[in-house]
Amino acid sequence: MVSLLRTSLAPVGKAIAAQHFSTAAVLSNDSYRFVVAGGGAGGLAIASSLARKYGDGNVAVIEPSDVHYYQPMWTLVGGGEKTLQDSAKEMSKLMPKNATWIKEKVEQFDPAQNLVYTSDNRKVNYDYLVVAMGLQVNFNKIEGLPEALEDPASGVASNFSPKYVNKTFELIKNFQGGNAIFTMPTLPIKCPGAPQKIMYLAEDYFRNKSGVRDKTTVMYNSALAVLFGVKKYANSLWKVVERKGIQVNLHTNLVEVMSKEKKAMFTITNPADNTTTNKIFDYDMIHVSPPMGPLACLKDSPVSDANGWVDVNKTTLQHMRFPNVFAIGDCSNVPTSKTAAAVAGQSGVLLKSLESVMKGEIPAEKYDGYTSCPLITGYGTTILAEFDFNAAPLETFPIDQGKERTSMYYLKRDIMPELYWSGLLRGVWRGPGIVRKALHAGLKN
Ligand SMILES: Cc1cc2nc3c(=O)[nH]c(=O)nc-3n(C[C@H](O)[C@H](O)[C@H](O)COP(=O)(O)OP(=O)(O)OC[C@H]3O[C@@H](n4cnc5c(N)ncnc54)[C@H](O)[C@@H]3O)c2cc1C
């Protein structure tokens, strides 16, 4: 096989424009101008844009899965409003036609040599790398949880996996009353509103569909100190939990599930002195949102920070040490809420940063931290939370988005999936920034 000679990029102290890229002398199958690691929301958004612009042979996507899931739909799958099939499409149908799909896992990064190593021991060479590998859901960090999730009689489910999301609706449908517990771990997790959304759907189901609400205690046991990280929406959510009679236990972190006895152990932290005590709760059903963290191959990787997240400039998404490396989405250390909405907001900025670097310029476009969480509060109502790096609302519509609205529920249920499949993954939806500017400008005129 002929090899490709490229100028390797030495690490630099700060994010700067890349220099000295040789164009491909001789192309081999394992050398690409752009390599995208991961074909999830962010990976496909970027690969689609690049493949459309630069054409055949220039873009490779390294992605091991046959199926791509629209994960934001899993809340509605757990709540019985959509099916798991609705949230899935074959990866082959979503891969950009003129990109090369390398159906392997990335195992190692060697950014000083512009190389990634894959699970079939291949070396893949790139001019520019975009890391978009998502995060790892750590069910195994809760004692007893992996076994409980597998056991159909355990009363334990989780929307955070396609394997267990159907079990959530089974539990809700068949619930006969007792303690229904919904957990929230420490951050970061993807979509920090998701642990609450499924609780509000379940509560609504018990109250208005199965009629078991008056013999049920609904409990939200959260490791966090607040109900939601943005004050405006937290205020609204406190009204929701009060109206629905939901018990909220903050600083209460799930550590063990004893599913044979239907008990769960939580560590409760006293915020005054940080002392902890353990408390066992009886449950009749429990929905677990498990801890999450970086993928194993990113921990201790040269592209990661000390915590294992890809180390990028939070506004340009360019790597802090390797100027031809970028990251998008859940795998990065960008300090915003990890959501598909954030991915949409990041995608346009990343592409502009990449183009600047290709021209030898300093990236100028700035990501503002835009992220969004459609906080479903029942069947037919949603608070559309949208905010930035400073946890300040950054709302698309010129109305009070802190209110529960039917319109936002249908936006979440019926319109957002289409925006995802036909917009984001095709690289044509870069978030609602333009819509927001137009609507708000219209209001000022
Ligand atoms: C229950 C639930 C509810 C949610 N609700 C919302 C919501 O309402 N709104 C919202 O905006 N977001 C929501 N999200 C979050 C959203 O789905 C994620 O933030 C988004 O998918 C992140 O995109 P990503 O590209 O970073 O990662 P992903 O979309 O997870 O993609 C990562 C890809 O990397 C691949 N990969 C993994 N390991 C490797 C490897 N070693 N090599 C190569 N590829 C690899 C994976 O197979 C996957 O295809 C929700 C998520 C869940 C689970």
* 352 and 379 within one domain: no
Quick one: pLDDT at residue 55? 86
Instruction: Give the list of residues 6+ apart from residue 361 with CB closer than 8 angstroms, or none.
Output: 17
- Is there a single domain that holds both residue 200 and residue 226? yes
The CB of 413 under 6 Å from ligand 1? The reply is no
Domain match, 266 and 142 both? yes
Mean pLDDT of the chain: 93
Please choose, from the candidates 156, 161, 160, 159, the residue with its C-alpha nearest in 3D space to the C-alpha of residue 145. 156
CA 365, CA 350: separation in Å to the nearest integer? Answer: 8
Report the candidate in 233, 234, 278 with the shortest Cα–Cα distance to residue 252. Answer: 278
The enclosing domain of 150 has a CATH number of: 3.50.50.100
Pocket test for ligand 1, best of 129, 167, 191 (most atoms within 8 A of CB): 191
Whether the per-residue pLDDT at 9 is higher than 80: the answer is no
Q: What is the whole-number distance in angstroms between the Cα of residue 136 and the centre of ligand 1?
A: 9
Q: Please identify which residue in the block is written with the tokens 């201790």.
A: 300
Q: In this structure, what token pair is assigned to residue 74?
A: 């899993």
State whether 159 and 252 are in the same domain: yes
Cα of 339 to ligand 1 centre, how many Å?
Answer: 8
| Closest by CA position to 69, among listed 47, 44, 48, 86 | 86
Q: Confidence class of residue 29 from pLDDT cuts 50, 70 and 90?
A: low
Q: Closest residue (by CA) to atom 29 of ligand 1? A: 40
Q: Give the residue, by CA position, lying nearest to ligand 1 atom 12.
A: 339
Q: Which of 31, 45, 95 is nearest to 65 (CA)?
A: 95
Does ligand 1 have an atom closer than 6 angstroms to the CB of 339?
yes
Q: What are phi and psi of 28, to 5 degrees?
A: -115, 170
Determine the average pLDDT of the residues in 319-343: 98
Query: What pLDDT, in 10s, does the model give residues 37-82?
Result: 999 999 999 999 999 999 889 999 999 999 999 999 999 999 999 9
Distance from Cα 87 to the centre of ligand 1, integer Å = 12
Q: Is the pTM of this model over 0.75?
A: yes
In the predicted model, is pLDDT for residue 289 greater than 90? yes
Q: Whose CA is nearest to atom 53 of ligand 1?
A: 160
383/193 Cα distance (integer angstroms): 11
Farthest-apart Cα atoms in the chain, separation: 72
Q: Report d(CA 314, CA 337) in Å as an integer.
A: 12
What's the gap in Å between 330 CA and the centre of ligand 1?
A: 7
Decide if 186 is inside a domain. Answer: yes
Residue 18's pLDDT band (boundaries 50, 70, 90)? very low
Q: Is the Cβ atom of 144 under 6 angstroms away from ligand 1? A: no
Residues noted as catalytic: 191, 373
Q: Are residues 229 and 346 in the same domain?
A: no
Q: What does the pLDDT look like over 141-184, one tens digit per residue? A: 999 999 999 999 999 999 999 999 999 999 999 999 999 999 99
Which pair of tokens denotes residue 75? 């809340």
- Asked whether residue 365 is assigned to any structural domain, the reply reads no
Last residue of a domain, one of 277, 292, 307: 292
| The domain boundary residue, chosen from 292, 324, 345 | 292
Containing structural domain, residue 106: 31-70+90-136+294-358
With a 6 A CB cut-off, is 105 part of the ligand 1 pocket? yes
Examine the domain organization and report whether 152 and 257 are in the same domain. Answer: yes
Is residue 262 lining ligand 1, measured as CB closer than 6 Å? Answer: no
**Residues 368, 389: contact at Cβ < 8 Å?**
yes
Residue located nearest, by CA, to atom 23 of ligand 1: 41
Would you state the pLDDT for residue 442? 62
Based on the domain organization, do 354 and 214 belong to the same domain? Answer: no
Beta strands in 270-393 (DSSP E): 276-282, 285-287, 292-293, 325-327, 371-378, 381-387
CA distances, 75 to each of 161, 191, 359, 396 (Å):
11, 10, 42, 22
Q: Point out the domain boundary residue: 239, 258, 292.
A: 292
Ligand 1 pocket test, candidate residues 133, 159, 384, most atoms within 8 A of CB: 133
pLDDT of the residue at 441: 84
Cα–Cα nearest to 252, from 347, 186, 161 = 186
Do 191 and 326 belong together in one domain?
no
Percent of the chain at pLDDT > 90 equals 92
Number of domains in the chain: 3
